[in-house]
Amino acid sequence: MAGDRDNRRSTTRYVFTVGGTAVSWVSKIQSVIALSTTEVEYVAATEAIKEMIWLQRFLDELGKKQELGRLYSDNQSAIHLAKNFAFHSKIKHIQLKYHFIWSALEDGQLKLKKIHTSQNPADMLTKFVTREKLRICLVSISLQV
């Protein structure tokens, strides 16, 4: 959260794999200043969902239809927020475009699941990680160690 010291913005990071191999990844500064780590992860999940939907449509056009996509987040609060509209009163300040995640989940375009932080390969894109954690991240996306 607030990793950019100049403007206090956080970083969105994600990695997509197909058949265990990384095909798309991002590590970029968010366009909004988040007020909590939950909001940071919620915004990142929405950005990742947009990429996931694009990848699914691209693969469909290539005749490589995939089963229902699974998006993993290591933030349980962001997962609950995305799946439960009842928290609406606590997130009124979040820009409307980031609530796209609700409709994507409601339409059954993907599943949002928890991944333990120790297994999250996107961590290597923005965090200092140990050599062992880096090895786990690289192996999980089929990159050579």
Structural domain of 86 = 11-140
pTM over 0.85: no
The tens digit of pLDDT for each residue in 27-59 reads: 888 887 777 778 888 888 888 888 988 998 899
User: Does residue 114 lie within any of the structural domains?
Assistant: yes
pLDDT at residue 71 greater than cutoff 80: yes
Confirm whether 68 is domain-assigned. yes
Amino acid (1-letter code) at residue 13: R
pLDDT digits (tens, 9 = 90+) for 96-140: 566 677 777 777 777 788 888 777 777 777 677 788 888 777 777
**144 has pLDDT over 70:** no
Establish if 5 belongs to a structural domain.
no
Within-domain flag for 19: yes
Give domain status of residue 6, yes or no.
no
Task: Provide the residue count of the chain.
Answer: 145
Q: Which pLDDT value is given to residue 120? A: 77
Task: List pLDDT tens digits, range 75-84.
Answer: 788 887 777 7
Rounded distance, CA 10 to CA 41, Å? 9
Cα dihedral 18, 23, 29, 35, rounded to 10, equals 0
Q: What percent of the chain has pLDDT over 70?
A: 80
Does some domain include residue 2? no
Q: Which residue has the higher pLDDT, 110 or 15?
A: 15
Q: Using H for helix, E for strand and C for coil, what is the string for 9-66?
A: CCEEEEEEEECCEEEEEEEEECCCCCCCHHHHHHHHHHHHHHHHHHHHHHHHHCCCCC
Residue 4, token pair as written in the block: 């950019």
Query: Has residue 3 been placed in a domain?
Result: no
Domain count, the chain: 1
Instruction: Assess contact for 25 and 125: CB atoms under 8 A.
Output: yes
**CA 49 to chain centroid:** 7
Integer Cα distance of 69 and 24 in angstroms: 14
